[in-house]
Structure 1
Amino acid sequence: MANSLSVRRSSGLGLGAIALAAFLWSVAAIVASRLFQNGVTPSQLATARATIAAIGLGLFYLRGKPLNRQTFRLDKRGIGLGISLAMVTFTYYVAIDRLSVAIALVIQYTAPAIVVLVSAARKRRFPDLVMLLASGIALLGVALVSGLGAGELRLDTVGLIGAILSAIFFAGYTLFSDAMVQDFGAIGVMFRGFLISSLFWLGVQVSQGFPAAVFQPANLPGILFTGIGGTLIPFCLLCWGIQQVSVERATIAATLEPVMAAVLAWLLLGQTLTPLQIIGSGLILAAVTSLQLWQSRLK
């Protein structure tokens, strides 16, 4: 009985950590939009956030550890994680530049369904019905929250490819994190991922020249928040949360992000919530809650 209670408490904490990560990502999205208005480019912001996260994680993870090959051990999973982290933001920016935000967001959040299907294929079994239903309900909720159907659709081949790739990379970094977390721990996994991601983006930035906009005094607070509060902390929370719950449940819980983004846009930017967006928020919350109740009954 005590063990069952401990498992439920751990599962609840895991989902809570993922919900907090989603909240921080939604705040970072608003901060990023303001940075773009102030002249910071998407690639500059991607470079800054990855570099800040890598340095912060490195200081914490490497403290007291010998600086040898074992400490920096990296395998194909770590490289895959780093590339996924580097590309998920870039492909999403391409998508929203070419498509309506609604379409881009809905396509990106097919990632939970991808994770459910990939996990089921690896385990050689049919996905749990509850998982499939929760994925579908959450995706419908994201579609409503993002405002799909509220305006004219702008279809573009490059944009569609970008949106599809963003979903794949979203699912990819979740699956790679799940595969590595038992070996390296949440901090160790994220350090390796963002080390590769930052090296990738620094290479890109070298070809584009010095990012003067990043170091403007007015932009520095937003840059630091995006790197620490919008990248380092939430990705570690997600990785830790995956340890507490299944990877499928973790990615479905991450669909809370558009709900929180919509609420924050209403509170901070004066954007109104339509009845359909409120319904969509309810659907996402219902999907996440149903997963927690279902898991509790299995214990």
Structure 2
Amino acid sequence: MVTSSIGRRPPGKAVGLGIALVSALSFGGSGVAAKPLIAAGLDPLHVVWLRVTGAALVMLPLAVRHRALLRQRPALLAGFGLLAVAGVQACYFAALSRIPVGVALLIEYLAPALVLGWVRFVRRRPVSRAAVLGVVLAAGGLACVVEVWSGLGFDPLGLLLALGAAGCQTGYFVLSDQGTGSGRAAPDPLGVIAYGLLVGAVALTAVSRPWTMDWTVLAGTAHLDGTPVPAAVLLGWIVLIATVLAYVTGVVSVRRLTPQVAGVVACLEAVVATVLAWVLLGEHLSAPQVAGGAVVLLGALIAQSSTPAEGAAEPVAGGGTDRTLSARGSAA
């Protein structure tokens, strides 16, 4: 069995909760740091490429250490790299250029509800009533977030891109559910993340064509609601804190806690992102949007942690540690 030193579940739930909180805080700051770079002149795909490629280089030693995964789980590595890394982040960052950070992330949090829809209507496996309630709450909360009564006040393409991020995350959950009952040794999550970043970097290189990037932007400054900040500092935050630290602490927290408990803390990511965007970028949400966001998170939480109906196979959204890789389930 391929394991890492963090695979042993150590005592101390308080420490695990603290690490999960660090992961949520780290993930939550990615959009706030990326949006000023996009506003400064970088294409959203170029920002994603910089983030993924930089993180892949940092985690390259882990990829070398777990090189056996290339032979053991090639489909899982490809799926994680193309969907959970390249797909989710490309759609999310592209959405940031058109809609507020908090709205984009809240829409992405529909993924657990979408997974349950796949389980119920495509796989035709029963789900619990609590799971159905979670889906209904998430859909109703989303209607408040996008203010459907005003005729979708946000950019429709931005909303579509955010839904694309949720769809890519859903695709990864579904992919990683395949063959989990076969009794094969669970892959090391950090190894999967390292190779997923490498696969994502290669895919994004072909799509984003970084040689066309305006590299001079990184030598200049970007603005956080009018405050100048070195662009290189924002990029360093995105790569080292919002990606490498966020993924590693996410895996560690799930190993110390149950996936459900870690998932509760991970939902703070959307709250952190919304608050930071409010304070640092001046992106204010209305009272109905804030209330709708809370309902989306509640619905996603119920959908993610609900157990299936008795006698049914375990749905993806309620999967274990090795199935989701981290409390968040993917990078965003």
Deviations 1:47-104, CA, capped at 9 Å, x for gaps: 1111111112222453xx48xx626435112111111111212223445557787875
Identify if the C-alpha distance between structure 1 residues 251 and 136 changes in structure 2 by more than 3 Å, giving closer, same or farther.
farther
C-alpha distance in 2 between matches for 1:294 and 1:9: 25
Shift of 1:29: 0.8
Q: Which amino acid aligns with 1:79?
A: A
Instruction: Check the 8 A contact 1:81/1:172 in 2, yes or no.
Output: no
Pair 1:172-2:174 in alignment = no
Shift of 1:36: 1.4
Aligned position for 1:229: 241
Higher helix share: 1
The gaps in structure 1 that reach 5 residues or longer are 1-5
Pair 1:275-2:290 in alignment = no
Shift of 1:284: 5.3
Shift of 1:149: 4.3
C-alpha distance in 1 between matches for 2:258 and 2:11: 10
- Residues 98-177 of structure 1: matches in 2 within 5 Å? 107-118=107-118, 125-141=125-141, 144=144, 146=145, 148-149=147-148, 152-153=151-152, 162-176=161-175
* Candidates 270, 275, 282, aligned match of 1:263: 275
Aligned position for 1:3: none
Identify if the C-alpha distance between structure 1 residues 89 and 75 changes in structure 2 by more than 3 Å, giving closer, same or farther.
same
Q: Which amino acid aligns with 2:275?
A: V
Identify if the C-alpha distance between structure 1 residues 195 and 20 changes in structure 2 by more than 3 Å, giving closer, same or farther.
same
The CA RMSD over aligned residues, in Å, is: 4.3
The gaps in structure 2 that reach 5 residues or longer are 1-8, 221-229, 308-332
Deviations 1:115-158, CA, capped at 9 Å, x for gaps: 234456798641122233234334544554x4534855268886
Aligned position for 1:57: 59
Aligned position for 1:201: 204
* Candidates 65, 68, 71, aligned match of 1:70: 68
Shift of 1:232: 2.0
C-alpha distance in 2 between matches for 1:237 and 1:152: 40
Identify if the C-alpha distance between structure 1 residues 101 and 153 changes in structure 2 by more than 3 Å, giving closer, same or farther.
farther
Aligned position for 1:220: 232
Q: Which amino acid aligns with 2:287?
A: P
C-alpha distance in 1 between matches for 2:185 and 2:254: 10
Identify if the C-alpha distance between structure 1 residues 133 and 193 changes in structure 2 by more than 3 Å, giving closer, same or farther.
same
C-alpha distance in 2 between matches for 1:269 and 1:33: 9
C-alpha distance in 2 between matches for 1:15 and 1:292: 18
Identify if the C-alpha distance between structure 1 residues 191 and 220 changes in structure 2 by more than 3 Å, giving closer, same or farther.
same
Instruction: Check the 8 A contact 1:78/1:176 in 2, yes or no.
Output: no
Instruction: Check the 8 A contact 1:112/1:252 in 2, yes or no.
Output: no
- State the aligned residue count: 283
Aligned position for 2:193: 190
Identify if the C-alpha distance between structure 1 residues 21 and 175 changes in structure 2 by more than 3 Å, giving closer, same or farther.
farther
Q: Which moved more, 1:33-42 or 1:189-198?
A: 33-42
Instruction: Check the 8 A contact 1:24/1:230 in 2, yes or no.
Output: yes
Percent sequence identity is 25
Q: Which amino acid aligns with 1:234?
A: A
C-alpha distance in 1 between matches for 2:143 and 2:264: 14
Q: Which amino acid aligns with 1:171?
A: T
C-alpha distance in 1 between matches for 2:176 and 2:240: 19
Shift of 1:216: 1.5
